[in-house]
Structure 1
Amino acid sequence: MLKLIRTIQSTLRYKMLVLVLFPIVLIMPIALVLAIYWGSQFSYEQLFIKVNTDLSVAEDNFHRLQQDYLNTLARLAESYTFNTALESKSGGVIHQQLEKIRQQNDFSYLHLLGLGGRITFSTDADLPQRAHPSPSLLIALQGAPKVEIEIFSAEALEAQSPGLANRVALPLLETPRATPTDQQVEERGMMIRALYPVKNSRGEVVAILDGGVLLNGNFKFVDTIRDLVYGPGSLPEGSIGTVTVFLDDVRITTNVPRAVNERALGTRVSDEVRTQVLEHGEKWIDRAFVVNDWYISAYQPIVDVNGERVGMLYAGFLEAPSRNALWQALVVLILLFLALMLLSSLLSIRGAKSIFKPLEMMMSVVRATREGYTRRIGQVSSTDEIGVLAKEFDLLLDLLQQRNRQMQEWTDQLEEKVEERTTELKLKNERLLSMIQTLKETRAQLINAEKLAALGELTAGVAHEINNPTAVMLGNLDLLVAELGKDAEPVKEEIDLVIEQIFRIKDIINSLLQYARTDQMSGVAAYTDVNSVIEHTLVLVRHLRSKSDFEINLDLQATRQVKINSQELQQVLVNLVVNGVHALHQRDGEIRLRSSDWESKGVVIEVIDNGSGIAPERLGSIFNPFNSGKPTGEGTGLGLSVSYSLIKKYGGDIRVKSELGKGSVFTIWLYREADMVDDEKSLFEHYNY
C-alpha cells in the first residue's frame, strides 16, 4: 500500500488519474449514501406527517360522531310530537319515540330523566331506578346539552340496560411487547354519553334525554371512521389502514386484523406507546408494533368527562408496503449511480490521456536539462493550451540558456558587493538592538516611578485626612460608652458595629499605605469561609431595609475556604448588595446571595436582584471608574471599579449578566489559593476589561 502511494506521488500519469477519478470513486459514493439516507429519512418523515394527519381526521370524526348523537337527541327534544306527548304525559307515545330513535341511531340505551335524576321513561322493559351519576348530568340539569366519554363499570352497565354487561366482557389476549398484567378480563364499558335538556315553552328544564352509545365491540363506529380516513387511493397497494379505540391499553373496538377474518379485540398496546400516551399524555407519531406487525402509527389519549386519560384513539397503516416501495426506489437510484460512475470514469480516463502525454514529454526534457543535457520537446500534435505550452517551453529553454550565462556573470559581481554590505549591516544592527533594549527598560522604569509617586502622594494625603476623624470618632465613642454606663446596653450592638466599621476604615487606609510602599504587601490574605463573610455582610446592609421594602435570601452551598482578605471580600459584597438594593423599584423586591463550590478550583459567589437591570450599551464599561448608572449626585462611580480591582488582585474574576426590567446577576470566581496579581497587570486588565 505504501509503495502504491509513493508511485502515485512520483508519477504525473497516476496523479492525473487519481485527481480525475477522485470525485467519481469517493464523492459520488458519499453522495449516494447521503441520498439514500436523506431519501429514507424524508420518506419516513412524510409517512409520519401523513399518519399524524390521519389521526387528526380520525379525531375530528370521533368528535363529530359524538356531536351527531347529541344532535339526534336535540331533534327529538325539540320535536312537536315529543313535546306534545310529554305535556300530555302520554307514556306510550314517549316510549315509541324513544325506541324509534334508539333503533335508528344504535343507542345502547335511551332514558328520559326527571329533574331529580330518576328515570321516568326508558327503552328497556325493566325500568332502571336512577341515571348513572356524572358531572355532565349536573350541567344538563342546568340547561346546557353535553356529550362526553364516560367509563361504566359492569354493575353500572347492567343498571342502565339488562344484558349490556355481558356484551362488554372481553377476555384479554397475550400480546407481544405489551405491559405485563394479571388482569384476565376487561369488564368495563366506554360509553359516548349524550345528555340533552328538554325545556317547556317558558324555557324551563322539565326533563333530560340521556342516551349512551357503547364503544366496546362497536365495529360500525370504527369502520365508519376508517372509511373516512383511509378512502380508496390513500395508501400504497397492499397496505391497510386501521382505526382503533382503546379502553386503557386494551383494544375494545378495532379493524386491526389478528388473523384472517378476525379482529384483534382483547389485544393490548405495546409498553412504550402505553407509557408515552396514557402515562405522560403525549401523542405517539412513529413506528409501532401492532399485534403482530409493524405499523406507521399515531396514538393520542382519550379523556373522559372527569378529565382523566381513560383510553386511546389510534390511526395507522402497515409499514411493509411503504418500506418495500422505498427500497425499490433506492435500488433504482443505486443502479443509476453505478451506471453514471462507470460512464464518467471512461470519459475521464480518455480525457486525462490527452493532458498527461505532452506533460510527460515536458518532464523528460526537464530531467535532461537538470542533468546538463540539451534537449527539446519538438513538434506536438496537440493544439490546445498544453500544446501551446510545450512550444513555448522550448522557446523558454533557449532564452533561459542565454540568460544563465548573463546571470552567472552578474552573480559573481553581486556576491562581492553583498559580502561587503553584510559586514557593515551586522555592526549597525548590533548597535541598534542594544539601543532599543536600553530604551525599553528606561521607559518601563519611568512609567513605574511616575505611577508609584502619584499613588503614594495621593494615598498619604487621603490617609492623613481620614485617620484624624476616625481617631476622634473612636475617642468619642469610648467616652460615650463610659458616660452612659449601663444605659448603653440597649444600643451596645450598634455601637460595637460602628466601632468595627471605624477599625475597618483604618484597615483600608493601612492597606492603601502598604500598597503605596513597594517594599510591603498590599493586603494580608488568609483562608476564609465565604459563607461567614456573606452572613456578616447582611448585618452591614440591614439598615437599608428601613428605606426600601425587600427580601434578602441566602443559598450557601460552598464547602471550601479560599485565601483572601475577608474585609476586602466583605467590601465587594456590601457594594454589590447596595447596588442591587438601589436597582429595586417594585414592591416585591428580592436580593439573593448564593455560594457554591467551583469544581476543584475554589468557590463561586452570586449576587442576584430582580431590579431594573442594566442597559446593554453600559455592560461593556460598567467596571470602568466614574461610570455610574445612578442619578446625578448619587454615587461616585468607583464602587464596581474598586470591587473589580480587589477580586482581580487575588487572581479571581467578576462578571455581570443583566436584562432590562428583569434584574442583574453579578458572579465572583475565587481560587482556593490566591494568585496575587501585581499592580501594573491589574491596572492593565481593569482599563481593558
Structure 2
Amino acid sequence: MNRPFRIIEAIRGSLRYKLLVLVLFPILLIMPIALGLAIYWGSQFSYEQLFIKVNTDLSVAEDNFHRLQEDYLNTLGRLAESYAFYTALESKSGLVVNAQLAELQRSAGFSYLHLLGVDGKRLFLSYGEAEKRGHSSPSLLVALQGHPRVEIEIFSAEALDEQSPGLAKQVELPLIDTPRARPTVQRIEGRGMMIRALYPVKNSRGQVVAVLDGGVLLNANFKFVDTIRDLVYGPGSLPKGSIGTVTVFLNDVRITTNVPRTPNQRALGTRVSDEVRTQVLDDGEKWIDRAFVVNDWYISAYQPIIDVNGERVGMLYAGFLESPSRNALWQALGVLILLFLALMLFSSILSISGAKSIFKPLEMMMAVVRATREGYTKRIGKISSMDEIGVLANEFDLLLDLLQERNLQVQQWADQLEEKVDERTAELKLKNQKLVTTIQILRETRAQLIAAEKLAALGELTAGMAHEINNPTAVMLGNLDLLVEELGDNATPVKGEIDLIIEQIFRIKDIINNLLQYARPDEITETPSVIDVNEVVQHTLALVRYLRKQKQFEIRLDLNAARPVKINPHELQQVLVNLFVNAVHALDSSAGIISLSTDDWDEKGVVIRVEDNGMGIEEEQIEMIFNPFHTSKRVGEGTGLGLSVSYGLIKKYGGDITVRSDQGQGSLFSVWILQEPDLMEEETALMEQFQPTEQPPEAASSSVGQSKQSA
C-alpha cells in the first residue's frame, strides 16, 4: 500500500529521479498513447475497409442475381420470338411445341417450362394428362397483358408438384440446429424459392395468344450460387486462407449455399443468427458487419429478397471468413508494436545517457552542501564538463572558500556583539517591566474615566428630567384630590378611572425615583417583596391596552410559572412595560403577534419571555442595546433609556435579561429572576451595561430550549 507513496517521495527528494522522470515521461506516456491510437485506428480502418469490400461484394452478387434472372427471361424471349416456335404454334403442332420446350428446359436449366393460354391453362398437354392451370400470381396477370416479367415467387409443396412431379420431394430440407439462431419448432422446410420468368407470345397483330412460363428452382441449386461466388470472389480477391461464400435464404434457412458445415459438406438447412434475421427480415435493413455464420465468424453482408407480392421472403448473402484477415491485421499490429518498443528502448537509453551528464555534477554539489551543513570541509574538485553545470560547479568551490573566510570574520564580530547584547538586554528587561505595569494602570484608569464620564452625564440629565416631570405630576395629583372632594358622591361612577389615574401618577413618581436611582445608585428605593409573576404580567397588560389603538396585534399568553420570587413588583412591571412597548414598535402594520410566557427556571427562580414577530434587531446592534441612550428608533419614539433601566433593575437582584433576534423574523427577550435575590452593588450593575451582552451560563441552555416552547 505504501510503495507508491515511497516512490513519489523518492522522486520529490532526488534531482536524479526528477530529471529521469522529465526525460522519460514523454517517452513512456506519449509513445504508448500514440501506439494505442495507431492500433485502434489501424483496426478500425482495417475493419472499415473489410466492411466496404463486403458491401461491394454484396452489390456485385445482387447484380449477378438480377442478371441471371434477366438471362432466363431473355432465353424465353428468344424462343417466343423464334420463327420455328411461332410456325409450330400457328400450326398447333403440339408435338413440335412440346419438343422445343423440353429442349430449352434441358439446355437452359429450367426446373419447369410450360406454355399457358390466355386463360392461364396449359396448352398441348400429353394424351390423358389432366387439365392444369399455371401458378396464379401478379406476374402472370402482367404477362397476359403483354409485358414480360421475371420475379421471385415462393411455391408450396403442392404448387411444386403441380408444375413438375417430384419437385416437392426434391426441395424437402431438414432444419439443422444452428448456434445463435432464433428458436423454432419447425423441423422441415418444404417450400421452394423459384425464379419465375413469364414471356408473352404474340401473333402478327400483336395480340397475346400464349405465355411461356419457366421456373428455376433455387433450392439446392449449387450451380447458381457457385456461379455468383466465382464472379464475386475471383482469384486474388481475398487474403490467403480465406474463403468467399454466397448464400440464398428462404426466410432464415440456407436453401443453397457454398458455406461449409464440414470440410466436405455444405451448410444446407442451417439458419441465420437471430440478430441478422431481426435486422434484415424483420426490419428490412441491410446487414454490413461481422456475423456468426454456422460455426465461425465471417465478414458478412445480407440484404432481403423481395418476392412478387412485395414481401420479404428470404435473404441474399455474400461474405468471407474473418480469421485470415484478422490474423493478418494482428501480424501487422505486432510488427508495429515491436517497432514502437524498440524505438522507446533506444530513446530511453539515449535520454538516460544525456541526463547523467546533468545530474552527476549536481549530485556532487549536493554532497558538498550536506558535508558543509554537518560542519565538514569538502570541495567538488575539477569538473571536465564545460557547460553551464560544469562552470557552476567550479564557481561553487570558489564560493565556498570565500564563504569560509567570511564566516571567520562574522564569528569574531558575533562574539563582540553578544557581549554588548547581554548588557543591553538586562537594561531593557528592567525598563520593560516598568512599562507593562504603567500601561496596565493607564488602561484601567481610562476605562474608569469613560464610565464615570457617562454616569456623570446621565446623572445630570436624569436630575433635570425628574425635576421637570415631578412638578406637573404633583399638580395633577393635587387637582385630582380637589376634584374628588368637590364632586363628592357624584364622583362614584368614575371612581375606578380616577383611582387608575391616581395609581398611574404614583407610578410616574416611582419611575422618576427609579431614574434618579439609576443616576444616583447610592440611594435605596422600595424594598422587595414576594410576588406572583403571573399577576404582575396580568396587571401589565391592563396598562398597555391603549397601544392597540395605535397598531393592531394579537397577544398570546402562556403563564406556567408556579414559583414565587422576591422582587419589587413596580420595578418588574416597569421592565415588562418597556419590553412590551419595544415589541409593539417592532411589529409590522398587520399580522403582528406578541407572546408573553412564564416558566419555572430549574430550581433557581422564574423566567419571563416577551417575543414578537417583528422586524428583529441587527446583529451589530445586539451588543449595545442595553447601553444608556442607545436606540434604533426614529427621532421622537424613544430616548434609549428603557432597556438600560430595565437591565439595571434586574441585574440589581442578581438576575439577567437576554435577547435572541433574527432580522426579519422577530426578537425574544428573556427576563431571568432569582427566587431569592442576590443583591448586587448598583455601580457594578451599571458598569456591566457598558460591556457586550452575553447570556449567563445557567441561562443559556434554558433560554434556547424554552424560547422554542413559548414561540
**TM-score, normalisation: structure 1:** 0.54
Q: CA-to-partner distance for each residue in 1:298-347, whole Å, 9 max, x for gaps? A: 11111101010101111111122222222222332232222222222211
Matched, 1:383 2:386: yes
- Tell me by how many angstroms 1:42 deviates: 2.4
Q: Choose the corresponding residue for 2:344, options 327, 341, 344.
A: 341
Q: CA-to-partner distance for each residue in 1:168-202, whole Å, 9 max, x for gaps? A: 11111222222222212111100000111122233
- Tell me by how many angstroms 1:365 deviates: 7.0
Cα distance change on mapping 1:104 and 1:96 into 2, 3 Å: same
- How is 1:630-645 mapped onto 2 (pairs within 5 angstroms)? none
- Tell me by how many angstroms 1:32 deviates: 2.7
- Tell me by how many angstroms 1:120 deviates: 1.1
CA contact 1:110–1:122 (8 Å) conserved in 2:
no
CA contact 1:195–1:209 (8 Å) conserved in 2:
yes
Question: 1:247 aligns to what?
Answer: 250
Q: Choose the corresponding residue for 1:85, options 85, 88, 113.
A: 88
Question: 2:162 aligns to what?
Answer: 159
Question: 2:280 aligns to what?
Answer: 277
Cα distance change on mapping 1:124 and 1:161 into 2, 3 Å: farther
Distance 2:361 2:12 in 1: 19
- Tell me by how many angstroms 1:392 deviates: 7.7
User: What letter is aligned with 1:234?
Assistant: S
Query: Where does structure 1 lack aligned partners over 5 or more consecutive residues?
Result: 406-518, 522-689
Q: CA-to-partner distance for each residue in 1:506-525, whole Å, 9 max, x for gaps? A: xxxxxxxxxxxxx999xxxx
Distance 1:352 1:125 in 2: 105
User: What letter is aligned with 2:72?
Assistant: Y
Question: 1:31 aligns to what?
Answer: 34
User: What letter is aligned with 1:337?
Assistant: F
Cα distance change on mapping 1:143 and 1:361 into 2, 3 Å: same
CA contact 1:111–1:121 (8 Å) conserved in 2:
no
CA contact 1:110–1:123 (8 Å) conserved in 2:
no
CA contact 1:236–1:322 (8 Å) conserved in 2:
yes
User: What letter is aligned with 2:52?
Assistant: I
Question: 1:539 aligns to what?
Answer: none
Q: Choose the corresponding residue for 2:238, options 235, 239, 243.
A: 235
Distance 1:146 1:33 in 2: 56
Cα distance change on mapping 1:291 and 1:74 into 2, 3 Å: same
- Tell me by how many angstroms 1:235 deviates: 1.3
- Tell me by how many angstroms 1:273 deviates: 1.4
Question: 2:72 aligns to what?
Answer: 69
Distance 1:22 1:308 in 2: 62
CA contact 1:144–1:196 (8 Å) conserved in 2:
yes
- How is 1:406-555 mapped onto 2 (pairs within 5 angstroms)? none
Question: 1:225 aligns to what?
Answer: 228
Q: Choose the corresponding residue for 1:115, options 103, 118, 133.
A: 118
Give secondary structure in 1 for the equivalent of 2:123.
Answer: strand
Distance 1:161 1:245 in 2: 22
Distance 1:210 1:395 in 2: 113
Question: 1:45 aligns to what?
Answer: 48
Give secondary structure in 2 for the equivalent of 1:29.
Answer: helix
Question: 1:209 aligns to what?
Answer: 212
Q: Larger deviation: 385-394 or 66-75?
A: 385-394
Q: Choose the corresponding residue for 2:15, options 3, 9, 12.
A: 12
RMSD: 3.3
Cα distance change on mapping 1:319 and 1:9 into 2, 3 Å: same
Distance 2:282 2:240 in 1: 36
- Tell me by how many angstroms 1:379 deviates: 5.0
Q: Choose the corresponding residue for 2:183, options 173, 180, 183.
A: 180
- How is 1:670-689 mapped onto 2 (pairs within 5 angstroms)? none
Cα distance change on mapping 1:10 and 1:61 into 2, 3 Å: same
Question: 2:537 aligns to what?
Answer: none
Cα distance change on mapping 1:124 and 1:249 into 2, 3 Å: farther
Cα distance change on mapping 1:368 and 1:279 into 2, 3 Å: same
Distance 2:125 2:233 in 1: 38
Give secondary structure in 1 for the equivalent of 2:269.
Answer: coil
Q: CA-to-partner distance for each residue in 1:216-258, whole Å, 9 max, x for gaps? A: 1101000000111111111111111111101011111111111
- Tell me by how many angstroms 1:28 deviates: 2.5
Cα distance change on mapping 1:78 and 1:385 into 2, 3 Å: farther
Matched, 1:133 2:147: no
Question: 1:666 aligns to what?
Answer: none
Question: 1:310 aligns to what?
Answer: 313
Question: 1:355 aligns to what?
Answer: 358
Cα distance change on mapping 1:160 and 1:381 into 2, 3 Å: same
CA contact 1:99–1:123 (8 Å) conserved in 2:
no
State the aligned residue count. Answer: 408
Question: 1:556 aligns to what?
Answer: none
Give secondary structure in 2 for the equivalent of 1:96.
Answer: helix
Distance 1:520 1:382 in 2: 90
Q: Larger deviation: 324-333 or 379-388?
A: 379-388
CA contact 1:190–1:215 (8 Å) conserved in 2:
yes
User: What letter is aligned with 1:167?
Assistant: Q
Question: 1:54 aligns to what?
Answer: 57
Matched, 1:261 2:278: no
User: What letter is aligned with 1:139?
Assistant: V
Distance 1:306 1:396 in 2: 101
CA contact 1:300–1:313 (8 Å) conserved in 2:
yes
Cα distance change on mapping 1:114 and 1:84 into 2, 3 Å: same
Distance 1:125 1:268 in 2: 43
- Tell me by how many angstroms 1:166 deviates: 1.2
User: What letter is aligned with 2:195?
Assistant: I
Q: Percent of pairs identical after alignment?
A: 80
CA contact 1:368–1:375 (8 Å) conserved in 2:
yes
User: What letter is aligned with 1:331?
Assistant: G
User: What letter is aligned with 1:243?
Assistant: V
CA contact 1:277–1:300 (8 Å) conserved in 2:
yes
